[in-house]
Amino acid sequence: MDTVHLHPSLLDRLTAIARRLAAVGRPAEAADLLEVAAVLSPQGAHLLDEAESLRQQTAPESLERELKRRNLESSHAIGMGNIFISRGELDRAVEMFDFAKLRIPFHYLAYSASGFLHLKHGDPATALQEFSQARRLNPLDLRLAVETSRAALQLESYRVALEHAIDAMLLSQWETDREQEQDRRRVTTLARLCNTSDKEVDALTRERAKALQKACDHVALSQARIFSSRQLRRRRKAVARRPAERDQIIERASELRLAPVFHHFGDEQLIALARLAHKVDFEEAQVLFREDGDGRDIYLVRSGTVHVTRRTPAGTQVLSTLGKGSLFGEVSFLDGSPRSATAFGVTRGSLYLFLAQDLDQAMAEDRELAVGLLWPYWQTLSDKVRAANAQMNELLAPGAAEVAVHEDHGHGTPVSLSTEEKIEVLHEQGLSAQELRLLATYSQEERFDAEALIFTEGERGDKLYIVVDGQVRI
């Protein structure tokens, strides 16, 4: 076969470009060009030596850029290979996958894609080779384990198929019960084909589990080492500011978790709430909002003390003293009415402010968050009603606040409503269909006469009442 060489002037131009790249601080690209020139030149040994020298001079930053470039080229080659497969150009697809392997020899996706191509087109032997290499690079891919076992089964390599089938069974712990049962049946069938006893299968399963666990541990240790390095922390700080914002959200979520009113929140709900929280400082005697004023925003005390007061005929009365973790402002948020009291700082402190429009949007988009927020609202309202009642008892004369506790209760007369009628009443409460059906099924209906006593202050509260018709005075 004749050898074709470039004209010397073209080689000179190629080497000149390479040396100019080296002069401007791009040694990796210069070395690539020199290696190309060495292949095309009949006397290329000295060019290879020059290229090797340039690679040794390559700075870590240049190496990182080169690695990124090769990763991109490898990914693009895999994508082009898949395009060629869809067009039926299998030879060109194989070339693209081979090129991807050359650019990144330790990237399992190129081997995996090549394996799927060969298996699909009736070459299980080559597919098994490609899948096996892909699994050496990534033993934790479930689909790879299944397909490797399938390729080995087609070649009647039952022992190899059994090993990969056991891996698939171990990796399928988070699949559905039906899929896990399929994996177990596959192992049982292959064990029977290669005459392997249950004891041997158990031993092989333990061995494969250790190998998979070792791979997981290696990743975990590497992750811990890399993420704890100072160099990476400096790089993160220089590259992007978003992690700092993420850390602030996590910090706010951790602080919100400590508030008793949010103890029932899950991690996702806390993160969603933390995104809406704004830190606000307040001074001593600073008014946060005034009675009869507008506003539906909600506050959570982070530090300091807040008094909630209301004007009464007997003068301004302190309804509640709020400290760290206390929620206030929720009354106006719920009913949209003007502020029912005045809130001001007794000492210096800080709080979280939740803007009403942000909460409205978040609750409209996330039903679970909405339900989760309603619980602390009702809880704090209940606490404040009890505190207000205690204040009223202190203001009133000793005999004026007494209730006829010993008065006979007007027990309601049992009545019957159809399930559809009860669901229609409950539907106004914004409940889901399942919740409506549950309450409608287990609720009991009673009718009370006018002025009948339903319950009195101080009694044990063991019932929840929903008014179907009429009015109730508290």
CATH number, domain of 147, equals: 1.25.40.10
Express each pLDDT in 298-324 by its tens digit: 999 999 999 989 887 777 888 888 999
* Domain-embedded: residue 230: no
191 and 160 in a single domain? The answer is yes
87 and 113 in a single domain? The answer is yes
Judged against a pLDDT cut of 90, whether residue 346 lies above it is answered with: yes
Q: How many Å separate Cα 385 from the centre of its chain? A: 38
98 and 198 in a single domain? The answer is yes
pLDDT attached to residue 355:
93
Structural domain total, the chain:
4
CA distances from 305 to 301, 302, 322, 456 (A): 8, 9, 6, 33
Judged against a pLDDT cut of 70, whether residue 1 lies above it is answered with: no
Judged against a pLDDT cut of 90, whether residue 100 lies above it is answered with: no
Query: pLDDT tier at 176 (50, 70, 90 boundaries)?
Result: confident
pLDDT attached to residue 222:
63
**Domain edge (last residue) among 395, 415, 434:** 395
Query: pLDDT tier at 402 (50, 70, 90 boundaries)?
Result: very low
* Domain-embedded: residue 185: yes
* Domain-embedded: residue 236: no
**Domain edge (last residue) among 58, 75, 90:** 58
81 and 48 in a single domain? The answer is no
358 and 421 in a single domain? The answer is no
Q: What is the DSSP string of 277-319?
A: EEEEEE-TT-EEE-TT-----EEEEEES-EEEEEEETTEEEEE
212 and 69 in a single domain? The answer is yes
Q: How far apart are CA 421 and CA 427, in angstroms?
A: 10
114 and 28 in a single domain? The answer is no
Beta carbons within 8 Å of 249's beta carbon, 6+ residues apart: 271, 274, 275
The better pLDDT of the pair 340, 11 is held by 340
* Domain-embedded: residue 339: yes
Q: Residue 460 corresponds to which tokens in the numbers above?
A: 């044990």
The widest CA-to-CA distance across the chain, in whole angstroms, is 119
76 and 147 in a single domain? The answer is yes
pLDDT attached to residue 337:
84
Judged against a pLDDT cut of 50, whether residue 401 lies above it is answered with: no
Classify residue 260 by its DSSP letter. G
Query: In the chain, pLDDT over 90 holds for what percent of residues?
Result: 16
385 and 452 in a single domain? The answer is no
* Domain-embedded: residue 264: no
Q: Residue 171 corresponds to which tokens in the numbers above?
A: 């990796």
Express each pLDDT in 103-113 by its tens digit: 887 778 889 99
* Domain-embedded: residue 249: no
323 and 434 in a single domain? The answer is no
* Domain-embedded: residue 229: no
Express each pLDDT in 238-264 by its tens digit: 444 455 577 788 888 888 888 888 877
Full residue range of the structural domain in which residue 432 is found: 405-474
71 and 216 in a single domain? The answer is yes
Q: How far apart are CA 77 and CA 20, in angstroms?
A: 29
Residue type, 110: A
Q: Residue 352 corresponds to which tokens in the numbers above?
A: 């979280």
Query: In the chain, pLDDT over 70 holds for what percent of residues?
Result: 75
pLDDT attached to residue 432:
47
* Domain-embedded: residue 270: no
Express each pLDDT in 194-217 by its tens digit: 888 888 988 999 898 888 888 876
Span 275-292, average pLDDT: 92
Q: Give the lowest-confidence range in 139-143, 369-373, 390-394.
A: 390-394
pLDDT attached to residue 54:
80
The model carries a pTM of: 0.40
Judged against a pLDDT cut of 60, whether residue 399 lies above it is answered with: no
89 and 208 in a single domain? The answer is yes
CATH number where 381 lies: 2.60.120.10
